[in-house]
Amino acid sequence: MLIIRALSEESGSLHRISESDDTRLLMEAIDSGQEVKDVGHAGTAMRFLTAYFALQPGTVTLTGSDRMKQRPLYPLIGALRELGAEIECLEKEGYPPVRITGGYIRGGNIRIDGGISSQFISALMMVGPILEGGLELSLSGKAVSETYIQMTLALMKEAGVPARFDGHKITVPQHDYQLGSFTVEADWSSASYWYQVAALLPGSRLKLPHLQRRSVQGDSVLADLFSHLGVTTRFTEEGVELHAAGDHPKNRFDHDFIGSPDLVQTCAVTCCALRVPFRFTGTSTLVIKETDRIAALRSELGKLGFILSSGPRGEWISWDGTEGTRRDHPLIRTYHDHRMAMAFAPLSVYTGSISIDDPDVVTKSYPGYWSDLKKAGFRVGEMED
């Protein structure tokens, strides 16, 4: 919505904007007059801003963390170049940092691989209405995280652009954005850690404000997923109420996460703690996130005695119930990944206590996470070196 507002001729008002680092960095990049814009670990900002600045007069350099420089940008760069954008990769072809000389780029019909990241597709969709003649995107291969494409479509329609998607082709007409007042939904991805807390604490009741039943977010599938792990969701006018009865009828949990990959870490850690074997598919995009999340899960759950397996390209991850030796007082590494910290912290219920390195990493998406844990009765403190 911040990108859509920036592309709108009349700036609309956005309410309940996240205070996360990702949001702050994207806003600063749009508003700052500096030529070099550093987005740190914010992959969404890198992808969206690459398309945005291709349209803006002047030259900017987009850069980020060392990990960001390892995350591919080439499908998006190639598509934008095909439309006439001037983009130079400064270190490695197809990867950040990039120098973008913005200006006129044309509309048209382009083909893009749908199997790497939906963020490339969303970035192109959002600039599509500004291009002369609009934009038609033909997706090759199976689109991953299609729910995010649908979310982008829904928000573009909210801003007056009648874009369409038939499963293989996205049609974005040339059209002015008309963004009025918009209230941002609460984040279902962040809610997953509270579903996890509920599942690990039978008898617990939690209230999470502002979450909606009719959500544009694919991660709203949480309510159904955790119903198999003993958590009941009741929707109210204020949000949702969670109740954990303590029984989870599933003796194993298999699910395709292609539409909700950000929930994999939470669900994998929860299943291990509850001793529910699982096999998760649709996980190939996890290897190019803030870290290789498949490798990170296997390593850190391994410290707790859970022996996981995975496909050669990260296309699946599973646990068959095999347990090995559990380390005493292990330090859980986050690998600069906010979701590793938040998915593992509730395991203190299972282990008695748990140590997480780089705790500030949660500010990427959920700055208030540690203080909210304290509100819920957890004891949280800094470790001495």
As a whole number, mean pLDDT of residues 5-25 equals 91
Task: Find tokens 């309940």 and name the residue.
Answer: 16
The continuous run of DSSP H or E covering 321 comes out as none
Which residue ranges form the domains of the chain, and what is each CATH number? 2-183 (3.65.10.10), 188-375 (3.65.10.10)
Structure tokens, 75 = 């499908």
What pLDDT was estimated at residue 18? 93
pLDDT confidence of 193, banded at 50, 70, 90? very high
As a whole number, mean pLDDT of residues 149-153 equals 95
Pairing of strands 36-38, 58-63: parallel
Distance CA 138, CA 99 (A): 26
As a whole number, mean pLDDT of residues 63-84 equals 93
What pLDDT was estimated at residue 248? 63
Higher pLDDT, 9 or 292: 292
Burial of 84 (0-12, 13-18, 19+ CB in 10 A): middle
DSSP state at residue 262? G
Pairing of strands 181-183, 13-15: parallel
Q: Is pLDDT of 249 > 70?
A: no
Q: Is pLDDT of 10 > 90?
A: no
What pLDDT was estimated at residue 146? 87
Distance CA 200, CA 204 (A): 9
Burial of 155 (0-12, 13-18, 19+ CB in 10 A): buried
pLDDT confidence of 223, banded at 50, 70, 90? very high
DSSP 158-211: HTT---EE-SSEEEE--------EEEPPP-HHHHHHHHHHHHHSTT-EEEEET-
Burial of 12 (0-12, 13-18, 19+ CB in 10 A): middle
Which pTM value belongs to this model?
A: 0.89
Strand ranges for 81-153 from DSSP E? 86-89, 98-102, 108-113, 135-140
Of 21, 219, 262, 337, the active-site residue reads: 262
Task: Find tokens 């996240």 and name the residue.
Answer: 18
Q: Is the dihedral of CA 210, 214, 216, 222 positive or negative?
A: positive
Other beta carbons within 10 Å of 66:
8
Other beta carbons within 10 Å of 224:
10
pLDDT confidence of 5, banded at 50, 70, 90? very high
At position 315, the amino acid (one-letter code) is E
Bridge partners of 113? Answer: 140
Distance CA 45, CA 18 (A): 14
179 φ, ψ (degrees, to nearest 5): -100, 115
The continuous run of DSSP H or E covering 347 comes out as none
The mean pLDDT value of the chain amounts to 93
What pLDDT was estimated at residue 385? 62
Q: Is pLDDT of 208 > 90?
A: yes
Alpha helices of the chain — where are they, by DSSP H?
Answer: 2-7, 21-31, 43-53, 74-82, 118-127, 146-158, 188-200, 222-225, 264-273, 293-303, 338-344, 348-351, 369-375
Interval 107-119: pLDDT, tens? 999 999 887 788 9
What pLDDT was estimated at residue 174? 97
Other beta carbons within 10 Å of 313:
10
pLDDT confidence of 243, banded at 50, 70, 90? very high
As a whole number, mean pLDDT of residues 343-369 equals 94
CA distances from 260 to 47, 100, 150, 263 (A): 19, 31, 12, 6
- The verdict on whether 262 is a catalytic residue reads yes
* Residues above pLDDT 90, as percent of the chain: 82
What pLDDT was estimated at residue 168? 87
As a whole number, mean pLDDT of residues 130-136 equals 96
At position 337, the amino acid (one-letter code) is D
pLDDT confidence of 246, banded at 50, 70, 90? confident
pLDDT confidence of 327, banded at 50, 70, 90? confident
As a whole number, mean pLDDT of residues 290-304 equals 93
Burial of 362 (0-12, 13-18, 19+ CB in 10 A): buried
> Cβ neighbours of residue 47 under 8 Å, at least 6 residues apart?
73, 76, 117, 119, 120, 122, 123
Bridge partners of 309? Answer: 318
Distance CA 68, CA 41 (A): 6
Q: Is pLDDT of 68 > 80?
A: yes
As a whole number, mean pLDDT of residues 210-220 equals 93
Instruction: Report whether 178 contacts 159 (CB < 8 A).
Output: yes
